[in-house]
Structure 1
Amino acid sequence: MALLWIVVSSLVSVSSALDNGLALTPPMGWLTWERFRCITDCKKYPNECISENLIRRTVDLMIIEGYYEAGYEYVGIDDCWLEKARSLDGRMVPDKERFPSGMKALADYIHSKGLKFGIYEDYGNLTCAGYPGVLGHEQIDIDTFVGWDVDYLKLDGCYIEPTEMDKGYPDFGKMLNETGRPIMYSCSWPAYQEDKKILPDYASIAKHCNLWRNWDDIDDSWSSLESIMNWFGDNQERIAHHAGPGHWNDPDMLIIGNFGLTVDQSKVQMAVWAVLAAPLLISADLATMKPEFKQILLNRDIIAVNQDSLGKQGLRVITKKKIAVWSRELADGSHAVAFVSHRADGAPHATRFTLDEMKLPSVQYEVVVSSFYK
């Protein structure tokens, strides 16, 4: 008898890797961007501005509220943490008002709690928000990250031609790896090339990056989430086989707990991200997280599917009557299956799928259904 996980997630309640030893399962953590964007006015938005206070508060909540225990270990600052100009010796300077203690002190605090420190930069001349990029300062910036004890680097791709990324991102990753410090390397390389209709070299990307953004930025809405799921399903034949231990496709952050998704829609994202073997990177305010959304983010069954050691990305195996079926093979030979309704009417709807349609072996199954509320 085989085991079949049914990940209930519908709207009706249903190569070689970068040699740094990291990301053997999809990374889990928290990032500032989707929820907090580039809020820099701490007088007007004292609890939401990109600052060391926000990061320290989030670190404490990750421990107190059980996120760290569940596997979320990285705490990442996205864009807008820098001063607009480098120092006289060419170094990056954290914003002096919002990060008065400096990044090394912040990293020490994060590490003292057992968590890991993530930060953002851009491969081009400027970051997407107009702060100094790494281009022309690669070595000094890498040395600075190492000096700050950074554990995770997200390298964006604004203000640089996408055609230059095929060489630039691998070169930067090699320099990063040669420091001897294990730093998770998150690339934005294919997202910019896909946008320009350039076919990315995913074999090379998987060789040089631990994870990479494939496509559009996620926004806080069901329409954005749905478009990303559809893109991954439509393009899975050319991207899915490049994912595995040490190197992962990244459909972008978890927006669960913000303003744009209902509880059922949030279940969809958590379930499909688990089947996709996607990084689980929360971008929400943990201080105002409602219990029903927290339960989804901390669901141990779904996290176990996401973190399965086989590291095989799942696929959208069939769509029928606007019901999509996503399936993932797991290390013990079982399968995780998510059913996602794309019907707009919201009414209950019965649809039958055969094992053959779902590309499952024709054997007897024991079905384990995750309720999201354990």
Structure 2
Amino acid sequence: MQRSIMNTVQLTFVSTLLTLLVLCSCLDNGLVRTPPMGWMTWQRYRCNIDCKNDPDNCISENLIKSMADKMANSGWRDLGYVYLCIDDCWSLKKRDSTGRLQADPERFPSGIKNLANYVHSKGLKLGIYGDMGNYTCGGYPGTTLETIKIDAETFASWEVDMLKFDGCYSTSEEQALGYPKMSEALNATGRPILYSCSWPAYQGGLPPKVNYTLLGNICNMWRNYDDIQDSWDSVLTIIQWYAKNQPVLQPAAGPGGWNDPDMLITGDFGLSFEQSKVQLAIWAILAAPFIMSNDLRTISQEAKYLLQNRLLIYINQDSLGKQGALISKVNSLWVWKRELVNGQYAVAVMNSGTDGLPKPYTTSLGLLNITDCSDGYKLYDVFEKEYLGLFKSGTTINMKINPTGVILSFIRPIC
């Protein structure tokens, strides 16, 4: 018992010391001054390694190259979707003779370095997955405290541009040491690598277990909550969690470091057209990463229409970097507001209800506390791509919001 207490005290001291060191040497990589945009394998393809029977959809260099081609040739890259990320299950189940992670040679015959070269030749950036633990969530080799340095150097030598660092098969104490240590190791490589941390999701997402000041110093983005699933229930649950905890979450986000409610599932199977608009609108209000997980080779025109909406992306990528918030909720109507640069705003009115007709909503700029410009504001319906007119503080604004739908407005002062 006494030895156990001593070990706990020593580990706490080491963790505190390392935290202080990291705060003096933070992840100063200059990346993602606006939320990152791109594509990731996980939600759509999970851990599909059956390339024999499903060659078009298994985790492989062929899948990554085909998505790179689509991102470059179908307008995604030019709109800002530039990170192309391999999630779990890319490696062999053992390290090489020098202790380094190695890609599965059957599924990645060219190796990750050559794959990175291909992705870079398309004007894109390659992301890869690791796990702070003995194993990844899919059972592949994880990164222990002893292998953080060699793994960071390996990723840098492959010219990877992003690391998603998960937290399966590790203790809270190991995570408290490992996540800051990986930040330091990535910095030491000299290569700018976007660092996506899953740490808070493994600690409940909230203080006192989660220190958002520390996260902002060591990570570029961080998963706060559970994995998203391909369903409306999952999207709504995430939205509810962010609304409930926004006093803690909103101040943590800003240029260079972002709350991450997880991937965009527009274009998959679980959301209707209206529900897809809800996810996109609320993620834009939250200044969340726009990381898709879908099949860009077969994506529908209506899903592409939503994801490539320039005004939606303009709102998401606003340089002020201020996360929006829920400002009112009456029954099933939720009103979200985000302040943008140059006196601009975005307002999303969401109907979480599933009953009957579209819900009417009446408001004004005065009621929304958007009053700085006495000459008025121009209003635009983002998804309908319509100019709605010039509104002053007391002018009535009438809306009807479809069940499990949203109206996203862009508001620009004429002053």
Instruction: Tell me which interval the TM-score lies in, with the shorter structure as reference length.
Output: over 0.9
Residue 308 of structure 2 aligns with which residue? 298
Residue 146 of structure 1 aligns with which residue? 156
Alignment map for 1:1-374 (pairs within 5 Å)? 18-135=27-144, 136-194=146-204, 199-355=209-365, 358-361=368-371, 363=374, 364-372=376-384
Displacement of 1:365 in angstroms is 2.7
Displacement of 1:351 in angstroms is 2.6
Distance 2:91 2:54 in 1: 18
- Letter matched to residue 125 of structure 1: N
Displacement of 1:137 in angstroms is 1.1
Shift in CA distance, 198/160, structure 1 to aligned 2, threshold 3 Å: farther
Shift in CA distance, 76/194, structure 1 to aligned 2, threshold 3 Å: same
Contact kept? 2:200, 2:206, Cα under 8 Å = no
Percent of pairs identical after alignment? Answer: 51
Describe the SS at the equivalent of 2:209. Answer: coil
Which region of structure 1 is more displaced relative to structure 2, 17-26 or 357-366? 357-366
Structure 1 residue ranges without an equivalent (≥5): 1-14
Distance 2:252 2:215 in 1: 9
- Letter matched to residue 328 of structure 1: R
Distance 2:356 2:31 in 1: 42
Deviations 1:236-295 (A, max 9, x none): 001111100000000000000000001111111111111110000000000110000001
Alignment root-mean-square deviation, CA? 1.8
Contact kept? 2:37, 2:81, Cα under 8 Å = yes
Which region of structure 1 is more displaced relative to structure 2, 277-286 or 347-356? 347-356
Describe the SS at the equivalent of 2:175. Answer: helix
TM-score by length of structure 1 reads 0.93
The count of residues paired between Structure 1 and Structure 2 equals: 360
Describe the SS at the equivalent of 1:253. Answer: coil
Distance 1:297 1:111 in 2: 23
Distance 1:295 1:236 in 2: 30
Displacement of 1:195 in angstroms is 6.6
Which region of structure 1 is more displaced relative to structure 2, 164-173 or 297-306? 164-173
Displacement of 1:367 in angstroms is 1.1
Deviations 1:314-351 (A, max 9, x none): 00111112111111000111110011101111412213
- Letter matched to residue 182 of structure 1: P
- Letter matched to residue 351 of structure 2: S
User: Which structure has the bigger radius of gyration?
Assistant: 2
Residue 10 of structure 1 aligns with which residue? none
Residue 7 of structure 1 aligns with which residue? none
Deviations 1:145-165 (A, max 9, x none): 011000000000001112432
Contact kept? 1:18, 1:246, Cα under 8 Å = no
Describe the SS at the equivalent of 1:324. Answer: strand
